[in-house]
Amino acid sequence: MAQLKAARAADVIPAAMPELPDIAAELDALASAPCVRAAEATATATAAAAGDGSEGRRRAPLVVIGHRGKGMNALASPDARMRGDVRENTLRSFNGAAATGYPAVGYVEFDVQVTKDGCPVIFHDNFIYTEENGEISGKRVTDLRLDEFLSYGPQRSQEKAGKPLLRKLKDGRILKWEVQAEDTLCTLQEAFEGVDRRVGFNVELKFDDDLVYTEEALTGVLQAVLKVVFEHADGRPIIFSSFQPDAAQLIRKLQDKYPVYFLTNGGTQTYADPRRNSLEEAIKLCVDGGLQGSCRSNVPEVVYVQHLMGVDGVIVDLVREIADAVSAFSAAREAAGSEGCGEVERSEKKAAAAATGTPSFSAREMSFLFRLIPELVQ
């Protein structure tokens, strides 16, 4: 499997990860459980109920996915909305997104890493920081045992004091991680048990851009995550996603019960791996590997263009604002679709789009849209 980038030998994840449980044999039995297939069966049955074969023809509406719940905590952002009012990647944030009441908000997204002792936990950053006796220290999340990870931040027991939680920004500053509404760190299993069942989960498989992962190392991590999902999904809609191209392709090989989305920033950032540097490359990877596609954005105009291009879902921080926009342009598109265009060519394109569920664009139009998205983001 192709490596993502060059790295120092000391940074390379070893091929064997003996502290992770050997669960490959258990996954076969878990994958065959009826509950794992429930979400797919429900979706198919709903479409088939129309009685017109639409389950294989019509494209599903654009799905809004709450980023880390109600949105990430961008602590240094001048936009107060982006700093977040609830601690990201917590049960409180997930349930807050579910409570918006918007039908477009179908999922919450969260970042899953696996601790040193093999437990999938929910946390975005590669390192977790604290301050003790005036000294700031950081540890890699995947180097911690579960009990160590849960010792940071607010604690479930009022009798127990957690370690102060700090956050390192991209510019190197380390700030107190302060939000209006706190909550404890949590495991993947706790999310299944404690989050409103009306929303699905976008389980982002989180890996460090600065490390090289062998296929064996990736497999161990992914199997630990799959075990929890198969045991606790119980019919909840699930999406797997990752910015790590090899992990996205590998989890598709390890299971075929849930869709796998390759995440992209659409060309707004440059990475060592060319597969991550444009929406065009992301779509190629998805087509070649049997994956789906998903983009993150907080700009309504970008969301609209991505939807026109056939993107299935958008991961957003401004959950309420983007849900409003999606509802508005979906309604406008339906209204426009009910009017006659009066031109043969447009009628033919509309018929083709209706048959495939995806708009028809010329090569020139697609080239323009690929260039437009980064410009809109900027």
Query: What are the tens digits of pLDDT across the range 124-142?
Result: 999 999 999 889 999 999 9
pLDDT at 151 over 80: yes
Tokens, residue 286: 């998805």
What's the rounded Cα separation, in Å, for the pair 275 and 283? 9
- For residue 110, being part of any structural domain is answered with yes
Lowest mean pLDDT among 92-106, 122-136, 156-170, 305-319: 305-319
**Within a domain: residue 45?**
no
Within a domain: 316: yes
pLDDT at 325 (0 to 100): 75
pTM: 0.74
What confidence category does residue 341 fall into, taking pLDDT thresholds of 50, 70 and 90? very low
Q: What is the largest CA-CA distance in the chain?
A: 75
Q: Is residue 342 part of a domain?
A: no
Quick one: how far is CA 148 from the chain centroid? 25
163 in a domain, yes or no?
no
Total domains, the chain: 1
- Band (17; pLDDT cuts 50, 70, 90): very low
What's residue 144's pLDDT? 98
Lowest mean per-residue pLDDT among 27-31, 164-168, 198-202, 214-218 = 27-31
Full domain range(s) for residue 64: 60-126+182-333+369-375
Q: What local confidence, expressed as pLDDT, does residue 36 receive?
A: 46
CATH number at residue 68: 3.20.20.190
List the beta bridge partners of residue 205: 112
Asked whether residue 73 is domain-assigned, the answer is yes
Q: Does residue 252 lie within any of the structural domains? A: yes
Has residue 5 been placed in a domain? Answer: no
